[in-house]
Amino acid sequence: MQSKPVRIGTRGSALALAQAHETRDRLMKAHGLPEDAFQIAVIKTSGDRILDRALSEVGGKGLFTKEIEDALLSGDIDFAVHSSKDMPTLLPDGLEISAFLPREDVRDAFISPKAATLLDLPQGAVVGSASLRRQAMIKRLRPDLEVVTYRGNVQSRLKKLGEGVVDATLLAYAGLKRLGLGDVVTSVLDEDAFLPAVGQGAICIESRVGDERVNALLAPIHHEETAICVAAERAFLTELDGSCRTPIAGLARVADSTVVLRGLILKPDGSVFHEGMREAAIADAAEMGAELGLALKAEAGPGFLTE
């Protein structure tokens, strides 16, 4: 190990830092290294600065990764830690997703002082969410609810909920657990009824292609089952040209020697949706994901994802 600390790039939110710390701690344990062998570099992204508009209006997922990827390409950091669901389907030339940590709970959490579940909310209640997928799926289940765009980090969203800005919100259960906030959850939505975002609950590590030193460092903490599942989900998303402008959900699970993928696409108002499932050998996970994406795109017809 060289004397210079390994530089880990991350956003500066409490959740992003928790994910970077988890990655560092796993590396410390795997390699028997002290904490000062690593340096966490906080990088502010466009998505962190723009909080008054929906991401779909200002560029989508890349807003949370561009500045970090620029730092990777310039050599200012050695690798970056991301939430997999924030990653664009296409990465800049020279960069790759090189490792995944074991996936956390994939489900969405319902939080409200007004009702025990989403279905129990009173008619016309206001639900805040920054995710077009969650907004569309809420409207699919409860078209009577008022769904509003609701951005900010986890703590600020919980604060606004406490102040009565909205009656309820939905957040990733994985993020709340990583922040030690699992006790704020009113109920957890079943993944079969409320399919999560592609990559939800999975921490991924992005690095420069061909960086053997970093690859060797990351190898002991890489979780292959998570990588297989997310590969299928991202291939599904890629064929649908998925971004923050499109309500898309997808979840893969390894079962024995196969991968099972469920996918869903919706109109933003939840009024029309198309869903499907595929199963394939583990070696064919990405190909299977792409096939399901193409099948749902064909079923939905021209314009469904762009209208």
How many degrees, rounded to 5, is the angle at CA 91 between CA 237 and CA 298?
25
Task: Determine the number of helices (DSSP H) and then strands (DSSP E) in the chain.
Answer: 10, 13
Residue 280 is encoded by which pair of tokens? 């394939």
92, 217 Cβ separation under 8 angstroms? no
The DSSP bridge partners found for residue 273 are 266
Could you say which DSSP state residue 227 is in? Answer: H
Question: What region does 270 belong to: left with phi over 0, alpha with psi -120 to 50, or beta?
Answer: left
Choice among 78, 86, 167, 211 that is catalytic: 86
Task: Note whether 137 and 96 are within 8 A (CB).
Answer: no
- 70 catalytic? Reply is no
First to last CA, the chain: 53
Quote the DSSP letter at residue 69: H
Catalytic site positions: 86
